[in-house]
Chain A
Amino acid sequence: MNEMNLCDVPLGKKAIVEKVISSGSIKRRLLDIGLTPGTVVESVFSNPGGNLTAYMIRGALIAIRDNDSKNILIREIES
């Protein structure tokens, strides 16, 4: 299966995190909020500007900018 990024997940769909490929402090931040390999993430809604999307990550709703979520590789999309 082709690798996809978290920002490609359509609203309302779920995906499984494969790897966080960003580096430095943002990588640590993303890992801290629970985006480790194997985590199920649901894309919930995006903001009026369309540059920020809120994801349901381990029970918490967290918004991430699209430039950051494109550095999160995902494995598959569940319906």
Chain B
Amino acid sequence: MKILKNNSIDKVIALAGNPNVGKSTVFNALTGLHQHTGNWPGKTVKNASGLFRYQEHFYKIYDLPGIYSILAHSEEEVVARDFICFGESDLTVIVVDACSLMRNLNLVLQITEITSNIILCVNLIDEANKKKINIDIELLKEILGIEVIATSARSGKGLEHLASAIDKYSFEPNKDVYKVQYSRHLEKAISIVEGSLKNKLKSNLNSRWVALNLLKEDNELFESIDNYLGQGFLDKEILKSISLAREYLLEKEIEITEIEDIVVERINNIAEEISNKVTSYGKKNYNKRDRLLDKILTNKITGIPIMMLLFGFIFWLTIEGANYPSSLLNKMFFSVEELLFNFCSYFLPNWFSNLLIYGVYRTLAWVVSVMLPPMMIFFPLFTLLEDLGYLPRIAFNVDKVFKKCSSCGKQALTMAMGFGCNAVGVCGARIIDSPRERLIAIITNSFVPCNGRFPTLIAIITMFFVGVNSNNSILSVAILMSVILLGILMTFIVSKLLSMTILKGIPSSFTLELPPYRRPQVGKVIIRSVLDRTIFVLGRAVTIAIPAGIVIWVLANVSYNGLSLLLHVSNFLNPFASILGMDGIILLAFILGFPANEIVMPIIIMSYMATGNLTDFTNLADLKLLLVNNGWTITTAISIMIFSLMHWPCSTTCLTIKKETKSNKWTLISILIPTLCGIIICTALNLLFKIML
């Protein structure tokens, strides 16, 4: 990772810490940025960066992924470790959870081995106080020899103090930082190697830490060190000292492979010792409320039904709540359509006004009115669940099935994220340690219908299954849930098949942290999810809708051999599409919808409108009429729903898969598998329908 230090930035700050300690909240508070924060481990998977100013100084802060240790197991840990070790930041702010200081101190002690430029930020201090946990900040400061600041970032407490400490300690490093001491023999071995390193290291790297790590047989870290210091850094003298030190250790009956364990254990013990010294507990049973909630939410009998009900309720609210504003928006947009056209015709050529209004404006109007209302409801509700700390409980509840499919319970978490956006789900798969299981989670993520596909599903369900006038939203939810369950079933089947074939392996080990429940900040959640997610996703859809609108209009209005291009294309696609139970226009819509699934339904509508003469809509009943006039039956509706659930992931997701797997092969497989599933299932179903009907 490269940091560009331009002139206006005085210092570079790294923000490190365990997962789920409120690092992102601290980051947002300092930078005034609004990175989304969620209550589950591993929320920050990319390095986010932001600027902040304190008096006359400018700082660039990097929010690193949450890690337990810098001994690196998963992708995100490697990212964070390499940044702290080799990122050349001027100061590392370590954020720890006041409620579980003992475990958090592990990372702190590990980082003190690398650098002395540290500030400790003891966050969630309010929550600790509520749980009657008291931390002696002054004593902690004295023991560790670094600046310690107590904060409660959610309420803003202590942040001013933190900012001024960053300002101070970026320029004058701590002097007497606590250093972990190991046994006499190991210390001797370290000093042998350290001696050979003198004057060969760049200033930021701690020679003692490098020496200790050269002793270990950690190839990954070895490589990182080698890359950073330049090939050939490890000269004869150093290599000789390493083998000398290793010989010495063997003489003293210390195996090289044991060093890692010795280090971890020693650091753990010191962390425990320090934590015991500075922490005092008030009344016990501090998490009575959490345990009661867990008893209900993860119970053998009630756990899974509650999960289903909760999601059912969210979908119901989304469908029920989106209905009215959707038709209202629709009416509003189309009532001014003619007015706009007349207005444009005044000073623009007629064909251009046509393109602008009946091409671009109309597509945009459809996208906004179909998408915006369900998103405005779904995103905040989902964010509330996230904020509450419920998502890891889902992974906990359903782990058994995933284990049967030789994959990891954390995959459930990435699937839950997929409901919002598959690209986020793919990125979130970084929380899975085992590369094999991570790939399975990435490849199967698009079987979960994302928010861009809900409007299509909901519109079709309402028109063709429930009836446009009956308004039976419970039935809509039941049908939507079965579509989603089909997607989940496919996830299991494909995961199992992958583990049996190209991704052979047995379920690996993992640990899953269940964070404390937090009272969601309702107001903030609504504002943030609307501003960040809704506007973002809508913006993306709109930027795709404009060129798509132009393409459709051109296709519909340019003729060749007496037929419009749109009909040519649709006729070309028709034979294949009809095998799948759809028609050429629908397949074209799915193809044009590659950049954003949201525009599939609008493109279908636009295309039919462009070829037919029915152009006036006020409600879904008219829309259904249009579709039925174009040959839609209930089997068409089913085919589209299945194909919407299983086809190529959208372009953003594909790019994310490419970035995450760093492999064309796995990206291609991630596109092929859902597409093939969709084609096979649609074809089979339609054969079945033909035989039966």
Contact = CB atoms under 8 A, between A and B. Distances in A.
Contacts of B102: 34, 58-59
B68 A32 contact: yes
Contact of B103 (A25, A37, A57, A63): A57
Given A38-B269, A47-B400, 14 more contacts: A29-B73, A37-B265, A44-B291, A45-B294, A48-B300, A52-B400, A52-B409, A57-B103, A58-B102, A58-B272, A60-B513, A62-B511, A63-B513, A65-B510
Interface string B274-312: 000000000000000011001100111001100000000
Given A28-B73, A29-B73, A59-B101, A36 B265 contact: yes
Given A36-B264, A49-B399, A67-B509, A25 B73 contact: yes
A59 B131 CA distance: 11
A9 B229 CA distance: 49
Question: How many residues of B sit at the interface, in one of the four size bands?
Answer: 35 or more
Interface string A13-39: 000000000100111111111101111
Interface of B: 68-69, 71, 73, 99-103, 106, 260-261, 264-265, 268-269, 271-272, 290-291, 294-295, 298-300, 303-304, 396-401, 403, 409, 433, 507-516
Given A47-B298, A48-B299, A54-B294, A33 B103 contact: yes
A50 to B, nearest CB: 7
Nearest to B299: A48
A22 B510 CA distance: 12
Contacts of B509: 22, 25-26, 29, 65, 67-68
5 contacts: A27-B261, A52-B396, A61-B516, A63-B511, A63-B512
A71 B359 CA distance: 65
A31 B265 CA distance: 7
A38 to B, nearest CB: 8
Given A33-B103, A67-B509, A54 B73 contact: no
B618 to A, nearest CB: 48
Nearest to B395: A63
Contact of A29 (B106, B300, B433, B515): B433
A68 to B, nearest CB: 5
A4 interface: no
Nearest to A53: B396
B268 A34 contact: yes
A52 B396 CA distance: 7
Contacts of A68: 509, 511
A51 B398 CA distance: 10
B303 A47 contact: yes
Contact of B304 (A37, A38, A48): A48
